[in-house]
Structure 1
Amino acid sequence: MTLAQTTDTIIDPKIATVLLYPQVGSTQGSSAQTLNIPLVKLDDQAQSPLQLEFDDLTANYRNFRSKIIHCNANWVRSVLNDIEYTYEYNDVPITDYQVSVGTKVPYYHYKYSVPRLKLPGNYVLVVYNEQNRNQILFTRRFRVYANLLSINAGVRFSTDVSRQFNDQQVDLTIGYRAYQSQVNSPQDDFKVVIRQNFRDDRTVTDLRPSNVRSFDQVLEYNAIDLRNTFPGGNEYRFFDTRTVLSRGNYVERVDRKADRTTAYVQTDRPRSGFAYTQFDDFNGLFVIDHRETGDGATGADYIETVFTLLVDELPNASVYANGAFNFWSLDDRNRLSYDSALGGYRGRIWLKQGVYNYNYAITGIAPPVTRSGIRVDGNETLIEGDFSQTENVYEVFVYTRPPAARADQLIGYYMLDFGQRK
């Protein structure tokens, strides 16, 4: 099997709504369980196994198989052999499926439980055609972590006076006392990654400690070069298509035809020139659900979802409806086209019924800018704005390569919700 990339990618256009999540506690069996990100603690894999779900829009049964690939901290495939990180044979058929019920767009819905793994670290789940193992259909990232360190982090407005109303700064400390026997050079042995809103396109890497307190076995990360600073962004827009018998929240109208249903999302306008407005969101994620049956897996239909953004034409630029539903990729599937009669941009995306977060992103605005280690060409700032008050989730991942080990391991994880609504 030749794996060209280790990103979240759907290669086969007939594969849709790829979900990967741990089955955690009270969310088991509910539509909200898909808000659990693909991350599981090494010791909790048996109690909270990772569940894969996806739809095949060919509406024919196909033979799929899955394989797990171990990656280093930078998501480059490691040199480990399968037996070094798996307990079972690492090439498993996916045989659990159901047929959609009462939908205008027929599909097969597949499920698969990811087997337990031996090592903490970065992994990619690869699903491919059983008839041709080189025909990869999609790839999905996930992480397994061990808590061998003490991590503490906090978020504040940027210390850069010019960005204090727009950016958020993440300061953190790492205590390695319990792990010190494995540490040779504390300032070099740990690779720290900070991620915003579960987005791998919003990460800061290559952080160096600003202070090493050797006696306390503590590393401080308070970067004076502002590498630990993120654009605050804005709360995500959302719409609700769990039912098409009436208009859900932020849906202007629904057209029901014999062969398809089209939902027009409320017409949007830029928010960057207005004051920040507080409201709850899923931090860019989405939930699949069907109001009438309560069974989003096989009862939810695929809806032609129309996005409309009223803004003057942007020469040489491309505008996208952006969200976790497309793995934050900016491609032809979620690109909007300018309509001079409309006076704005419009695009159509086939999405399964549910509640979706989204925003608008733009590429081609010159010159491209890099701020805080994040490339802001393909940014959301022009339409959505950046506000330091925005509620955002931040995660801290700490990797190391133990002595004599041949790959990076994820030995520390910490999550904090800045501005969480009580």
Structure 2
Amino acid sequence: MTAKNTYFILFFLVLSIDLFSQAEEVSPPDFIKTISFKSNTTQGQLPVLKLGEPLILEFDALNANEEDFYYVIEHFNFDWTPSVLAKAEYLRGLDNQRILEYYNSFNTYQVYSHYKLQVPNIQTRGLLKSGNYMISIYDEYDELMFSRKFMIYEDMINVGVKVKRSRDVSVIDEKQSVDLTISTNSINFNNPLETIKTIIIQNNNLNTSISDLKPQYTLGNELIYRYDTESAFWGGNEFFWFENKDVRTSNVGVQFIDLKDIYQSYLYTNVPRTGKPYTYNPDLNGNFQVTALDRSNVDIEADYTMVHFSLAQEELIGKDIHVYGNFNTYAIEPLTRMEYIPEKDKYEVSFRLKQGFYNYKFVVVDSETGDIDEGAISGDYWQTENNYKVLVYYRDLGARYDKLIGYGEATSVDISN
């Protein structure tokens, strides 16, 4: 085999790996905080936008250097492999442009710059196709700072979502099942077992989503999904939460405040809840909301505090405990890893968060495999109030990309047998 042939084989191997690899979000460095999307959905949630609705991405840079950041937008298939669409087919205008709008913090101990990107803008005049997208933020040295997924849907079908208790008797007290009904008068589904794709997302957490379930029944123009186990989620428990909108005094969930270089918020020590009776406690289903008392513009006037988490838990050998929530899109990273303190017989960790209302919980991660056990500390209960989003994709015969043609949502407040 000649060197030229070897080169071409290696080239196509690398190309095929790139084409079929699934895109993953990249977590930001420690100086970038409070990444959030603002739209018709609540701040901090998974962004599912209607085609034509503006995309607004905001974040803070805590190094006070007023750096230049650039954005790149890419289109993906249902399974987060790169789509074959050329950029001009899904984006009107140009990306890889500098984020022009930013403001410096005002009257805060933690100095930061608040960046805001809105699409459409002068350079990027709009997104043309529905489907999965990834926005990546680069610094002026072309180094990737972070990336975030978002979805754009067309309102072409009706998506009915109902939450039921699990039909599996062995986990009936711990799991919730999601039933779907997809109906339309505008589309004739060709071979729906192959052309229709679905994804069910619990509490805006893509890590635990269930995807690609096939319709079980077809009744006229309706597709019915009523699985016994395949569409079941662990119920989990209500999230812990705290609010520190006033940094000068303790608030809900905050035991006491201290001031060093920045304010320190020491939360009450939490205890494991697995095996204990379920107690309803309204939450934001893992999300967060930036708020600050007596501030007119929380984007630049809300301060950052060092939040101290603690959990009364004996040491777990071979396992790690992490603080878990949508404040970092449920990422497992060194920042959220708790350290066991033998003399206190508890786990502790602290990191910076912007003033606001935050949901969080503790999860156990296997040190070797990285497997996450969300219910090990909190427990799993069928009564838990959870939010479920359902996305429906369609690729007609001969089509080149997966359209996101419908979006449905429900909560388990009205869960039934």
**Normalising to structure 2: TM-score of the pair?**
0.89
Tell me, which stretches of 5 or more residues in structure 2 are unaligned? 1-17, 121-125
Tell whether 2:221 aligns with 1:223: no
Q: Contact 1:22–1:36 (CA<8 Å) still a contact in 2?
A: no
- Equivalent residue letter for 1:17: T
1:6 to 23, 40, 52: 23
**C-alpha displacement at 1:91, in angstroms?**
2.5
Corresponding residue for residue 94 of structure 2: 89
Map 1:349-360 to 2 at 5 A.
349-360=351-362
Corresponding residue for residue 257 of structure 2: 254
Tell whether 2:210 aligns with 1:204: yes
Tell whether 2:170 aligns with 1:162: yes
Tell me, which stretches of 5 or more residues in structure 1 are unaligned? 25-32, 369-374
Corresponding residue for residue 129 of structure 2: 119
Aligned residue-pair number = 392
Find the residue that maps to 2:88 and give its secondary structure: helix
- Equivalent residue letter for 1:256: L
Tell whether 2:408 aligns with 1:399: no
Q: Contact 2:192–2:215 (CA<8 Å) still a contact in 1?
A: no
- Equivalent residue letter for 1:52: L
Tell whether 2:109 aligns with 1:104: yes
Corresponding residue for residue 30 of structure 1: none
Map 1:9-28 to 2 at 5 A.
9-23=26-40
Query: Cα RMSD (Å) of the superposition?
Result: 2.1
Residues 373-400 of structure 1: per-residue CA shift (max 9 Å, x gap): xx9x312211101010111111111111
Seen in structure 2, the aligned counterparts of structure 1 residues 378 and 389 have a Cα distance that, compared at 3 Å, is: same
Find the residue that maps to 1:273 and give its secondary structure: coil
**C-alpha displacement at 1:238, in angstroms?**
0.1
Find the residue that maps to 2:393 and give its secondary structure: strand
Seen in structure 2, the aligned counterparts of structure 1 residues 365 and 271 have a Cα distance that, compared at 3 Å, is: farther
**C-alpha displacement at 1:256, in angstroms?**
1.0
Residues 87-111 of structure 1: per-residue CA shift (max 9 Å, x gap): 2212322011111112221111111
Residues 158-200 of structure 1: per-residue CA shift (max 9 Å, x gap): 01111111100101121244210xx321222101111101110
Corresponding residue for residue 340 of structure 2: 338
Instruction: Give the Cα separation in 1 of the matches to 2:296 and 2:287.
Output: 19
Corresponding residue for residue 372 of structure 1: none
- Equivalent residue letter for 1:218: E
1:51 to 45, 51, 56: 56
Tell whether 2:149 aligns with 1:141: yes
Find the residue that maps to 1:209 and give its secondary structure: coil
Q: Contact 1:6–1:141 (CA<8 Å) still a contact in 2?
A: no
**C-alpha displacement at 1:365, in angstroms?**
7.8
Percent of residue pairs bearing the same amino acid type: 33
Instruction: Give the Cα separation in 1 of the matches to 2:80 and 2:177.
Output: 25
1:275 to 274, 277, 284: 277
Corresponding residue for residue 5 of structure 2: none
Tell whether 2:246 aligns with 1:243: yes
Q: Contact 1:37–1:198 (CA<8 Å) still a contact in 2?
A: yes
Instruction: Give the Cα separation in 2 of the matches to 1:388 and 1:99.
Output: 46
**C-alpha displacement at 1:15, in angstroms?**
1.4
Find the residue that maps to 2:187 and give its secondary structure: helix
Instruction: Give the Cα separation in 1 of the matches to 2:166 and 2:57.
Output: 38
Instruction: Give the Cα separation in 2 of the matches to 1:327 and 1:35.
Output: 9
**C-alpha displacement at 1:248, in angstroms?**
0.9
Tell whether 2:410 aligns with 1:416: yes
Corresponding residue for residue 328 of structure 1: 330
2:160 to 128, 131, 152: 152
**C-alpha displacement at 1:292, in angstroms?**
2.6
Find the residue that maps to 1:262 and give its secondary structure: strand
- Equivalent residue letter for 1:233: G
Residues 107-153 of structure 1: per-residue CA shift (max 9 Å, x gap): 11111102231111111111112x333x1111111111012122212
Which portions of structure 1, spanning 4 or more consecutive aligned residues, are displaced by more than 3 angstroms?
Answer: 2-8
The range that moved more, 271-280 or 8-17, is 8-17
